[in-house]
Structure 1
Amino acid sequence: MVRFFIAFLLFMLPFSAHATDAGWAALRDGGHVVLLRHAMTSGTSEPANFDIEKCNTQRNLSERGKQQARKIGALFGARAAPIERVQSSRYCRCLDTARIAFEAEPEAFAALDPMTGDEAAKTKQKAAIMDEIRAYSGSDLLVMVTHLENIMELTGVSPREGEAVIVEPQGDGLRVLGRVVF
C-alpha cells in the first residue's frame, strides 16, 4: 500500500507541474477567460447573520488570504498578458481578492455568487456565466473571481483557494487550458 501511494505521488507530480506550466502559457498568450477562486478565508461557512451588503456578516479573507491576493496580482503583472476586465461575485471575499490582486474595482456580477441548490436557478446562473465567457473576444484576459462550486459546476475542476483555471468555450461547455496555483 505504501509503495502504491508513493508511486501515485510520483506519477502525479509531473502533471501538477505541467498543469501550472500550461496555465502560465495560456495566461501569457492572452485572449482567455480566467476563473479565479477567491483567496484564502477565515472560517468555512457563512455566519448566521449573513448579509450580502455587509462584509462584517460574511466569511472574509484571512491575513494569509490578503497576502495570497497580493502574490496573485504580482505574478499576473510579471508573467501574464494584461487584464482587460475583472468581474467578481458580490461576496466580499471575492471583491477583496480582485481589489487587492488587480488594484482595480471589479465589476460585480451576481451570476458569480455561489450557486444555489435549486436546479432551475443554477441552470440560469450557469447560462449567464457562459454567455459572458462566450461573448469575450479580447486579446488580453478576462478574470472572473468566484467560488469553488461555480468553478466545479462549469469545469469539473475543484480548485484550491486562490487557484486560477484558464478556460475557453468548447461546444456547450468549457475546455480547461491550464491551471495556476498561487
Structure 2
Amino acid sequence: MREGIGHLAPGNCSEEVNLSARGIEQAKRIGEAFRAHGIAVGEVLTSPYCRCIDTGKLAFGRATPVQYLMPPGVLSESQANLDQERARHP
C-alpha cells in the first residue's frame, strides 16, 4: 500500500489509505478535548476521503463530505469555488 493520503475511491474505503490505530485514537481524543472544554461544534464538513469522514465521525459523531474540500489539483479551483458557493446558498 502506498503511503500518504492515497487515492479517492468513493464507496470503497478498502482502496484508500485509512486511519491507522494512532489516527483513530487521535480523532477520539480531539473530540473528547472539545467536549471537556465545552467547545460547541456545529456542522462537521470533511473531504470525501474515508479517513477524513472517519475522523469527523470519531471526533464529533458526524461528518458531511463535500467535494470542495478535495486536495488541490483533484478538483479545479473554479469547480471548488462553485461547489462552496452552492453549499452556502442551497
Shift of 1:59: 0.8
Structure 1: any 5+ residue segments left out of the alignment? 1-41, 136-182
Q: What SS does the corresponding residue of 2:43 show, helix, strand or coil?
A: strand
Contact (CA 8 Å) 2:47, 2:69: kept in 1 or not?
yes
* Deviation readout 1:51-90 (Å, 9 max, x if unpaired): 2220000011010000100111011112253112111111
* Deviation readout 1:5-58 (Å, 9 max, x if unpaired): xxxxxxxxxxxxxxxxxxxxxxxxxxxxxxxxxxxxx822526xx522200000
- The aligned counterpart of 1:46 is 6
Contact (CA 8 Å) 1:52, 1:58: kept in 2 or not?
no
Does 2:47 match 1:92? no
Contact (CA 8 Å) 2:68, 2:81: kept in 1 or not?
yes
Select 2:32's aligned residue among 58, 70, 74.
74
TM, length-normalised to structure 2 = 0.77
- The aligned counterpart of 1:116 is 73
Flag the structure with higher strand content.
1
Shift of 1:91: 0.7
> Over aligned residues, Cα RMSD in angstroms?
2.6
* Structure of larger gyration radius: 1
Question: Comparing both chains, which one has the higher relative contact order based on Cα–Cα distances under 8 Å and sequence gaps of 6 or more?
Answer: 1
Identical aligned residues as a percent = 28
Q: How many residues align?
A: 87
